[in-house]
Chain A
Amino acid sequence: MAELGISGLDISGLSMAGLAIERVTKRFGEHTAVDSLSLQIQPGEFVALLGPSGCGKTTMLRMLAGFETVNEGRIQLGNRILASSETHVPPEQRNMAMVFQSYALWPHMSVADNVGYPVKLRGLRGAAYQQKVRQALALVELEAYAERMPQALSGGQRQRVALARCLVSDPSVVLLDEPLANLDRHLRATMEHSFRDFHRRTGATLVYVTHDQSEAMALADKIAVMKAGQLVQWGAPETLYRQPRTAWVAGFIGQGSQLRVAAGSPGKHLESAVLMRGLNAIESERTQTVLVRPEHIQVSTAPSRSSQLTAQVESVIFRGERYELSLRLPSGETLLAYHHTAPEPGSYVAVSLDQGWCLEPGA
């Protein structure tokens, strides 16, 4: 599965059009599932909708597909309005494709029939049809399985059939609804590779829903972090990791500690000296929350110098390439740090912080 052969698939056939989501709101009775969400997705971008379960990401995806109507706002593909409070283009006319969590392969059709169904509906017949199906199956390396029934395939193979079915009709947008949720860990890693590969080779616009932050970070060009129906932050994975807007995003993505300091303001970097001074201020002045990633913490078992803090080791966890330390600062706050050796729990270590990122208060 490492390499997906792409012999002769017509990539230029993929229509290049950006997807614009403008202040889209969806209500189910009293409950607002998606609340005034706006996103601009460029042609060919790989976008992840990320958030905990119930945050509205799947509802957003189903609105893109056309399975749900839109209460307010609108969805636009290129110049074409797909959905607004007045219009609703049905799914079958949107020229999109979707990989479902359960793959949704039709059990009464062979692999080839499953893959060919979208182009058959578009009127393709005969040799041209055969050619299309063969190419799509070749792209996911399943030519040998064309005549099998879906029930006879493994989970990973079904996944690839679903992908091939998505490709065959040259859709403007490919939607993926937690496609890795039903696979085991090992297969997930392989499939992550093949998704990235697939995206690189086809250049299709991909919208990918997941609740797994590491999956989103590994795959997407841009990530929309959602919480309770609202967009919390929209940016590249690196931006989300280095400059999370709120304490909630900081806690959701990556590891790190949040400390109170008397320095800086939201959206600012803090250099080592400022950060250390701010940490030593009296309690009532320390009002700004700052995120410190563990890789920005220097730990030494030698006695501390004046520029360093003294912290007590609470617990030590072995993580293979390093140890993960949970430290207690004099202020009572906990600090997560990495170190190459394992200090005794209960002992004291010297700590210095290289940099920090100031977060917005509140949620």
Chain B
Amino acid sequence: MTPALTYSSQHRWLLSGLLIAIVLLSLAPSVRLLVEALSDLGQGRQSPLWQTLNSASTWRALWHSLYTSGLGMLIALVLGSLFAFAITLTNVRGKSWLVFCFMLPMMIPPQVTALSWLQLFGPASPLLKSIGMAPPLGSPQPLYSAEGIALLLGIQSAPLVFLALRTSLLSLPRELIEAARISGAKQAQVWGHIILPVTRSGLIAGGAMAFISSLGNFGIPAMLGIPAGYFVLPTLIYQRMANFGTGVLAEMAALSLLIGLLALAGVALQQHLMGRSRFGLGGHSGRSHDFTLGRWRNLATATLVCILLIILVAPLLALIVSSLVPAVGVPLNANTATLNAYTEVLGRQVATWRAMRNSLWLAGSAAVVLMLLSLPLAYRLQRLPERWRGAVLSAIEIPYALPGVVLAIACILLFVRPLPIINVALYGTLGLIFVAYLARFLVVCVKPVSASLAQLDSSLEEAAQLSGAGPWRRLGGIILPLVAPALFAGGLLVFLLAVNELTVSALLWSAGNETLGVLIFNLDQGGESVLASALSVLVVIMVAALMLALSLMAPRLPKGVIPWQS
């Protein structure tokens, strides 16, 4: 064997080792959960799984989960497909702004969405009070209901439907529509006969993603459901853990298994349905097929803007108003307006700075570590056979696809005892949240890098190889500079998601280790909705700024890396 071969095979073994380690680590939490939930089956009717399945509260929560997620999915389908069809196929005005604003709810943390809608309605709404339209004291908050939860879940997941449908609309070859028109089809017939059937897979995918994401959502049902005593599976787990601690872990593992299976069944169903209705489309695609709206153009644009005003601007306005009043229930006017909440939150609350430091540290280091891992991982993945690549991607996708509560329970199970050999206890430290973030967001960082690598012509690397560059040299000198924008975008996306994360950290935090998401949640639960609003306003500003930064990078990234641009 020549020295060069030894060198390159050493390189390959190292990367393969890394790949296998990462896959095992991604699977470990789920496997641990499975073992915990199934281990005591031998006890028969005494086993936690059996007891959980026999408990009425389990089935009630399961039904609540299915009801709110199902209704939320329908709302998301209506909103998402309206925007996708209008923005992709017609000549409405201001498309890029409409897209940006429509995508914003997906990136705003759910607890902030819930808080802002709570500020919009109900007798204590500072916004309604300021314009004199508040209902009398004592009237119920309409959002504290199953339908309220479903509405917000729908708004939060509508961008998922939008994205899936838009992608499939953009890949619809222009000629298919032109061929129908020259065959004599009118615009309405083109929609019904060609566009809808061909893009059905996008609709199905979007609907399924909206359902799965709603199923795992914690922030919205926690803020709206817990006060009303309306529990869905994630909030039931949270409530039990908050009340009984690690003593009920075995039961919680059983509940987690239930919801995890539900989510994975959703994924499987989606894959199955999509496989049946996916077409290999030939021809030129990419350019949008403008349906000219003529005199309806301004009306259509105004309709979309109105919807955005209702689902995005009004709640955010309510949030801002709430952050400027001195106390809950006081109307906002020139005399009452005050920045006290901001000075209180930023100046006096030690917890704010601590939570911010924790969140920034967690999100920042998770982003950096994942960026470092993603390049070699994606590089090795690119060289695997198709079938294996799919399997590995599924394995690292599991911690992200599972509801956050499930991952949190799995991580507690995995780390509740000190790690063997090195004897380090992760439970109760920031380290546990950090490890959970690494598992959860790995796929978010790997996907853009993989997409970018797939676009690279392999001859670029082969040319370097012929020039005498060894494998590490090629990775650093050729591949890295070319995929750097995608790598960086992946890191930013991880940061964006992690810095506002609530679902995982809600179960994993401990005193002194709270994150921004947990802090807003706790402030609101403690009745400090003015302070929570002020903090939320800051969070929304940060999210919008990060999204804008990513948008500015868009021209240098492969298509589809930035979710809200295409």
| A and B: bona fide binding partners | yes
Task: List residues of A whose CB falls within 8 A of some B CB.
Answer: 65-67, 90-98, 100-108, 117-118, 121-122, 151, 165, 169, 175
Alpha-carbon gap, A106 to B283, bound state (A): 11
Contact indicator B279/A121 (Cβ below 8 Å): no
Contact indicator B183/A100 (Cβ below 8 Å): no
| Known interface pairs A107-B279, A151-B279; A65-B182 also in contact (CB < 8 Å) | yes
Contact indicator A121/B185 (Cβ below 8 Å): yes
Alpha-carbon gap, A249 to B281, bound state (A): 38
Q: Hey, what's the 0/1 contact readout for B176-207 against A, CB within 8 Å counting as 1?
A: 10111111111001000110011000000000
Q: Give the contacting residue for A107; candidates B182, B186, B280; CB below 8 A.
A: B280
Alpha-carbon gap, A95 to B184, bound state (A): 7
| Known interface pairs A107-B280, A107-B281, A108-B279; A169-B184 also in contact (CB < 8 Å) | yes
Secondary structure of the B contact surface, majority rule:
helix
Contact indicator B283/A108 (Cβ below 8 Å): no
B-side contacts of A165, CB under 8 Å: 179, 183
B-side contacts of A121, CB under 8 Å: 183-185, 189
Alpha-carbon gap, A116 to B416, bound state (A): 67
Contact indicator A94/B182 (Cβ below 8 Å): yes
Interface status of B175 (Cβ within 8 A of chain A)? yes
Contact indicator A91/B178 (Cβ below 8 Å): yes
Given contacts A97-B182, A106-B176, 9 further A-B contacts (CB under 8 A): A66-B182, A96-B182, A98-B182, A100-B178, A102-B175, A104-B176, A104-B179, A117-B183, A118-B183
Complex A-B: 29 CB contacts under 8 Å: A65-B178, A66-B182, A67-B178, A91-B178, A92-B181, A92-B182, A92-B183, A92-B185, A93-B184, A98-B178, A98-B179, A100-B178, A101-B175, A102-B175, A103-B282, A104-B175, A104-B176, A104-B283, A106-B176, A106-B180, A106-B194, A106-B198, A107-B198, A108-B277, A108-B279, A117-B193, A118-B183, A121-B183, A165-B179
Interface status of B11 (Cβ within 8 A of chain A)? no
Nearest 3 Cβ contacts at the A-B interface: A102-B283, A107-B279, A104-B175
Alpha-carbon gap, A67 to B284, bound state (A): 15
B-side contacts of A67, CB under 8 Å: 178, 181
A-side contacts of B281, CB under 8 Å: 107
Contact indicator B184/A118 (Cβ below 8 Å): yes
| Known interface pairs A104-B175, A108-B198; A91-B182 also in contact (CB < 8 Å) | yes
| Known interface pairs A102-B282, A106-B176, A151-B280; A91-B194 also in contact (CB < 8 Å) | no
Alpha-carbon gap, A97 to B282, bound state (A): 20
Alpha-carbon gap, A117 to B186, bound state (A): 13
Alpha-carbon gap, A66 to B184, bound state (A): 12
Q: Smallest CB–CB gap between A86 and chain B, Å?
A: 16
Interface status of B173 (Cβ within 8 A of chain A)? yes
A-side contacts of B178, CB under 8 Å: 65, 67, 91, 98, 100, 104
Interface residues on chain B, number (Cβ under 8 Å): 24
Q: Smallest CB–CB gap between B86 and chain A, Å?
A: 21
A-side contacts of B185, CB under 8 Å: 92, 117, 121
Alpha-carbon gap, A100 to B181, bound state (A): 13
Contact indicator A104/B173 (Cβ below 8 Å): yes
Interface residues of B in 266-316 (CB under 8 A from A): 277, 279-284
Alpha-carbon gap, A91 to B179, bound state (A): 9
A-side contacts of B175, CB under 8 Å: 100-102, 104
Q: Smallest CB–CB gap between B294 and chain A, Å?
A: 12
Alpha-carbon gap, A121 to B179, bound state (A): 13
Alpha-carbon gap, A254 to B180, bound state (A): 38
Contact indicator A102/B284 (Cβ below 8 Å): yes
Interface residues of B in 53-112 (CB under 8 A from A): none
Alpha-carbon gap, A118 to B181, bound state (A): 9
Alpha-carbon gap, A164 to B388, bound state (A): 43
CB closest chain-A residue, reference B189: A121
How many pairs, one residue from A and one from B, have CB atoms within 8 Å of each other in the complex?
A: 78
Alpha-carbon gap, A169 to B284, bound state (A): 25
Q: Give the contacting residue for B183; candidates A66, A90, A97, A108; CB below 8 A.
A: A97
Q: Smallest CB–CB gap between A206 and chain B, Å?
A: 15
CB closest chain-A residue, reference B289: A67
Contact indicator A90/B173 (Cβ below 8 Å): no
Q: Give the contacting residue for A102; candidates B173, B181, B189, B277; CB below 8 A.
A: B173
CB closest chain-A residue, reference B283: A102
Contact indicator B184/A92 (Cβ below 8 Å): yes
Contact indicator A100/B179 (Cβ below 8 Å): yes
Contact indicator A106/B186 (Cβ below 8 Å): no
CB closest chain-A residue, reference B285: A102
Contact indicator B181/A91 (Cβ below 8 Å): yes
Alpha-carbon gap, A67 to B193, bound state (A): 19
B-side contacts of A107, CB under 8 Å: 176, 198, 279-281
A-side contacts of B283, CB under 8 Å: 100-104
A-side contacts of B176, CB under 8 Å: 104, 106-107
Alpha-carbon gap, A90 to B178, bound state (A): 11
CB closest chain-A residue, reference B175: A104
CB closest chain-A residue, reference B278: A107
A-side contacts of B282, CB under 8 Å: 102-103
B-side contacts of A65, CB under 8 Å: 178, 182
Alpha-carbon gap, A90 to B182, bound state (A): 9
CB closest chain-A residue, reference B183: A118
B-side contacts of A91, CB under 8 Å: 178, 181-182
Alpha-carbon gap, A354 to B185, bound state (A): 58
Contact indicator A106/B182 (Cβ below 8 Å): no
Alpha-carbon gap, A117 to B177, bound state (A): 13
Identify which of A93, A97, A107 gathers the most chain B CB atoms within 10 Å of its CB: A107
| Known interface pairs A102-B282, A106-B194, A108-B198; A90-B181 also in contact (CB < 8 Å) | yes
Q: Smallest CB–CB gap between B174 and chain A, Å?
A: 9
A-side contacts of B284, CB under 8 Å: 101-102
B-side contacts of A105, CB under 8 Å: 179
Contact indicator A106/B179 (Cβ below 8 Å): yes
Alpha-carbon gap, A66 to B183, bound state (A): 12
Alpha-carbon gap, A262 to B176, bound state (A): 57
Q: Smallest CB–CB gap between A68 and chain B, Å?
A: 11
Alpha-carbon gap, A101 to B183, bound state (A): 16
Q: Smallest CB–CB gap between B192 and chain A, Å?
A: 12
A-side contacts of B183, CB under 8 Å: 92, 97, 117-118, 121, 165, 169
Alpha-carbon gap, A102 to B175, bound state (A): 8
Identify which of A93, A101, A104, A108 gathers the most chain B CB atoms within 10 Å of its CB: A104
A-side contacts of B173, CB under 8 Å: 102, 104
CB closest chain-A residue, reference B200: A108
Q: Smallest CB–CB gap between B506 and chain A, Å?
A: 45
Contact indicator A108/B197 (Cβ below 8 Å): yes
Q: Smallest CB–CB gap between B277 and chain A, Å?
A: 8
Q: Smallest CB–CB gap between B203 and chain A, Å?
A: 13
Q: Smallest CB–CB gap between A94 and chain B, Å?
A: 7
A-side contacts of B279, CB under 8 Å: 107-108, 151
CB closest chain-B residue, reference A121: B184
Q: Smallest CB–CB gap between B181 and chain A, Å?
A: 4
CB closest chain-A residue, reference B190: A92
Alpha-carbon gap, A70 to B478, bound state (A): 48
Q: Smallest CB–CB gap between B202 and chain A, Å?
A: 13
Alpha-carbon gap, A262 to B284, bound state (A): 52
Contact indicator A117/B180 (Cβ below 8 Å): yes
Q: Smallest CB–CB gap between A120 and chain B, Å?
A: 9
Q: Smallest CB–CB gap between B253 and chain A, Å?
A: 44
Q: Smallest CB–CB gap between A170 and chain B, Å?
A: 12
